[in-house]
Amino acid sequence: NAGVTQTPKFQVLKTGQSMTLQCAQDMNHNSMYWYRQDPGMGLRLIYYSASEGTTDKGEVPNGYNVSRLNKREFSLRLESAAPSQTSVYFCASSETLAGGANTGELFFGEGSRLTVL
């Protein structure tokens, strides 16, 4: 059982480069999320998608774009990376009822450690 798979696990970028973090889940969940985790800051929501075809900004969306390609996949793109985007990124998914209330367990990918020089 794969659960939530995200790639790459590690990436080093130079300032101004672009990259896409990929995430896929095989649990048929409606909701998917991208978080960043920084020391002392906890998990902060970048973007989320409550269903295929919809995306919404979270707490820290600036500098990022997302795409919910289909029900399984939710990608995060950095168009022009900045050192402030050095972080560990987690993708997650959960089940939701119609209307958006989360009812199920929250599953995380293993994380992607990004360093921007």
Rule CB under 8 A: which residues touch another protein?
Answer: 33, 40-43, 45, 48, 50, 58, 90, 92, 94, 100-111
**Per-residue tokens: 110:** 């293993």
Minimum distance from residue 106 beta carbon to another protein (Å): 6
Taking the least distance from each CB to another protein, the nearer of 17 and 51 is 51
Taking the least distance from each CB to another protein, the nearer of 15 and 54 is 54
Minimum distance from residue 115 beta carbon to another protein (Å): 14
One-character DSSP codes across 34-74: EEEEETTTEEEEEEEESSTT--EE-S--TTEEEEE-SSSBE
Minimum distance from residue 21 beta carbon to another protein (Å): 15
Taking the least distance from each CB to another protein, the nearer of 12 and 41 is 41
Taking the least distance from each CB to another protein, the nearer of 106 and 117 is 106
DSSP tag of 83: G
Q: Enumerate the β-bridge partners of residue 87.
A: 114
The string over 95-112, giving b where at least 16 C-beta atoms fall within 10 Å of a residue's C-beta and e elsewhere, is ebeeeeeeeeeebbbebb
